[in-house]
Structure 1
Amino acid sequence: MCEANAYVIKDGQEQLIMESVDIVEPESDDTWRLVGIFGDRKTIRGRIKLMNLVDHKILFEEK
């Protein structure tokens, strides 16, 4: 499967915000909609710092 887990950097640490992310869509400036494989959704404000698809990891930085 090609889904990835999404993390945000807070206080220098990676914190999991959503597992099994299938879709990452821009909503507006620095706002992203994450959609999971089961249809669950989350919105995060920040920028993408890293996408490592081999390790199934999407890393966001809050603004």
Structure 2
Amino acid sequence: MCDISVFVRKNGMEEKVLENVDRIEEVAGGGIRLVNIFGEEETIRARMILYDNSEKRMIFAPM
């Protein structure tokens, strides 16, 4: 499986937003919509700073 965990980095700390994410898309207004394999969704206003496939994680920074 290639499902990843998404984190937002604030003040040097990483907060997990959603696990098992398999869909990431930009939405109107500059948001990022995350959807996992269970259909759970989160929308964040952030920019991507790291994608690490070997660790199955993606890190965003708030905008």
Question: Normalised by the size of structure 2, how large is the TM-score?
Answer: 0.92
> 1:28: Cα distance to partner?
2.9
Distance 1:35 1:53 in 2: 17
Where does 1:14-53 land on structure 2 (aligned, <5 Å)?
14-53=14-53
Name the structure 2 match of 1:56.
Answer: 56
Distance 1:30 1:55 in 2: 26
Deviations 1:1-44 (A, max 9, x none): 10000000112111111111110011135310000011110001
Identity percentage over the alignment?
A: 35
5+ long unaligned stretches in structure 1: none
Report if aligned partners of 1:30, 1:47 keep a CA contact under 8 Å in 2: no
SS at match of 2:39: coil
Change (3 A) 1:29 1:51: farther
5+ long unaligned stretches in structure 2: none
Question: Normalised by the size of structure 1, how large is the TM-score?
Answer: 0.92
Distance 2:14 2:59 in 1: 8
